[in-house]
Amino acid sequence: MNEQALRLPLAPAGAATERPISIAILAMGGQGGGVLSDWIVALAEAQGWVAQSTSVPGVAQRTGATVYYIETMPPLNGRKPVLAMMPTPGDVDIVIAAEFMEAGRSILRGMVSPDKTTLIASDHRAFAVSEKIAPADGIADAGAVGAAIGVAARREIVFDMDRIATASGTVISSALFGALSSSAAMPFPADAFRAIVNASGGGAAASLKAFEAAFERAASPERHERGTALEKAAAPASGDARLQPLLARLDGELPADALAMARAGLLKVVDFQDLAYGAEYIDLLRRFADADGAAGGATRQWRFSTEAAKYLANAMVYDDIIRVADLKTRASRRVRVEKEVRLSGEQVLQTTEYFHPRAEELVGALPADWARRIVARPALLGWIDRRVNKGRRVKTYSIGGFLTLYAIGGLRGARRRSLRHATETAHRDAWIERAINAVSRNYDLGVEILKCRRLIKGYSDTHARGLSKYDRVLRAISQIELREDAADWARRLREAAIKDASGEALDGAVKTIGTFA
């Protein structure tokens, strides 16, 4: 080739409108993102199109999901197109997210644009590690993602596809594929999609069932049915006839603004102990509501009563060895674990529970008088602690292991005579008095003291650490409770204790308060 030929411009590859359909899939391990990518490629090729897929692996929920990227288009006059390897911000036609927060991440990455992107996402949550390890409520705000979707995407198809997949006995990729077919974002008939699923081999029947359910749901105009977590938690159990008198008491004795939280709290308390314990919960709530009314709660949306309904239930439902054993032997837990591991009919699930209670937890379950005698003998308590220090692994798939935990969980009737219950009740009552006294002088401070119960949770060492932080925060609040900004400082102290596991932030806040004249 001569030099003059080299200088000639290249012939145009085609008109500017000739561009591929670009698809980005965000999925975590076990959600079938690779399978979904393969299905889309196979679908396009079966229709005579050229398709190319690439992937960039993430580290599950620690740094984000794996991103699968597909470009596909028909060949032009026998010429195969050159396709891109990665999505370009603002130039993705279809984004498929296998979890709700991954939909949010796709928006942050610029993959979703209001002029062209169809966003298909499941609105269920698979909590990230950072959300699970937070001392308090570390769950990210899904509402912010929902609001962003309505603005960022040209079209959205969002509903709980994980539930459809689980009910069908398969993984979410099948439901996502059904929603993609229903969206008509790809110019292929639904039967072509079904043919790909049918050709997938083992599990095709379950996959096709999920495909069809998602296809129909995506076509429905009512895709975004969502109740609040509070409503979903309270609705099933509140139908129990035994609870109706207690629920009627709530309706008649508490302000309307606090009722939703109070109903959820009542169900939690009754589940923990019994109906009499539920009646005690309502009696205590009445004290909060009376103090709230006297402090002008009617003009403040009854915030004090609402927070009391939540945190009083948490204070009354503490994690002792009876509670832990009860939860681990419930049939509902077994069903949940089977769903999470996607147990098939021919598989056998064997579970081993690890217990590491401190001596205080074991002794605390005894009748109060007996337990106090043991606590008064440090040598005996130390011997018990050494005996349980290594913990125990209980094989709950064996008769002996299961019955051991079941028997411990069955001690619920003796709980209210135990030392642990006496200790928790005394601590709870002191907290109630502190909050009620505060709200009469400073409404916002009373609310903040209620919220300090967030610091106390968990079992064994976790509970002990939370209780220690709670005591430090309340002592610091006592130094500033007469200041006008006492509520603000109480909030700062609580948030410092929650966010900083090392305690350095709390130390700093306490030292700052110590400098106040």
Q: Which domains does the chain have, with CATH numbers?
A: 21-219 (3.40.920.10), 432-517 (no CATH)
Neighbours of 61 (CB within 10 A): 19
- pLDDT given at position 464: 84
The Cα 96–Cα 36 span in angstroms is 10
CA distance 66 to 29: 8
In 347-461 the beta strands, taken as DSSP E runs, fall at: 352-355, 392-395
pLDDT at 338: 78
Those residues with Cβ within 8 angstroms of residue 436's Cβ, 6 or more apart along the chain or in another chain: 287, 288, 291, 446
Give the confidence band of 14 by pLDDT, cuts at 50, 70, 90.
very low
Per-residue pLDDT tens digits for 311-365 = 999 999 998 888 888 888 888 888 877 777 777 777 888 888 877 777 888 888 8
Query: Collapsing DSSP states into helix, strand and coil, what is residue 70?
Result: strand
What lies within 8 Å, CB to CB, of 308 at 6+ separation is 258, 285, 288, 289, 292, 435, 450
* Both structure tokens of 17: 């409108």
Residue 438 structure tokens: 């505060």
Which whole number is the average pLDDT over 36-46? 93
Conformational region of residue 414, where left means phi above 0, alpha means psi within -120 to 50, and beta covers everything else? alpha
Q: Is the pLDDT of residue 238 over 80?
A: no
Average pLDDT over residues 382-408: 81
Please, what's the b/e burial string for 267-284 (b: 16 or more CB within 10 A of its CB; e: otherwise)?
A: bbbbebbbeebbbbbbeb
pLDDT at residue 433, rounded to an integer: 95
Collapsing DSSP to helix, strand or coil, 396 comes out as coil
State mean pLDDT over 144-171: 83
CB 509 within 8 A of CB 496: yes
**Distance separating alpha carbons of residues 61 and 11, to the nearest angstrom:** 46
What was the pLDDT predicted at 194?
94
94, 22 contact by CB (below 8 A) = yes
Instruction: Give the residue-averaged pLDDT of 172-196.
Output: 93
Residue 375 or residue 338, greater confidence: 375
What per-residue confidence (pLDDT) applies to 308? 94
Long-range contacts of 215-221 (CB under 8 A, 24+ apart): 215/178, 215/179, 215/181, 215/182, 215/190, 216/182, 217/159, 217/164, 217/179, 218/120, 218/157, 218/159, 218/178, 218/179, 218/182, 218/183, 219/182
State the pLDDT at residue 106: 85
**For position 451, what pLDDT does the model report?**
92
Res. 12 pLDDT band, cuts 50 70 90: very low
Region of 245 please: left (phi>0), alpha (psi -120 to 50) or beta: alpha
pTM of the model: 0.63
Mean pLDDT value of segment 437-461: 89
3-state helix, strand, coil in the chain (%, to 5): 60, 10, 30
Indicate if the pLDDT at residue 3 is higher than 70. Answer: no
What is the model's pLDDT at position 280?
95
pLDDT of residue 219: 85
Asked which of 7-11, 337-341, 406-410 is least confident by mean pLDDT, the reply is 7-11
**Mean per-residue pLDDT of the chain:** 83
* 21-25, 226-230, 272-276, 476-480, range with the lowest pLDDT: 226-230
DSSP 124: -
Percent of the chain scoring above 70 in pLDDT: 85
Q: Is the pLDDT of residue 6 over 50?
A: no
What is the pLDDT at residue 517? 55
pLDDT of residue 288: 95
Q: How many CB atoms lie within 10 A of CB 48?
A: 8
Q: Which of 112-121, 326-335, 500-509 has the lowest mean pLDDT?
A: 500-509
The reported pLDDT for the residue numbered 81 is 80
Q: Can you give the pLDDT at residue 425?
A: 94
Amino acid identity at 134: A
Tell me the range of 14-28, 46-60, 471-485 where mean pLDDT is highest.
471-485
CB 101 within 8 A of CB 65: no
Position with higher pLDDT, 3 vs 503: 503
> What is the Cα–Cα distance from 254 to 281, expressed in whole angstroms?
12
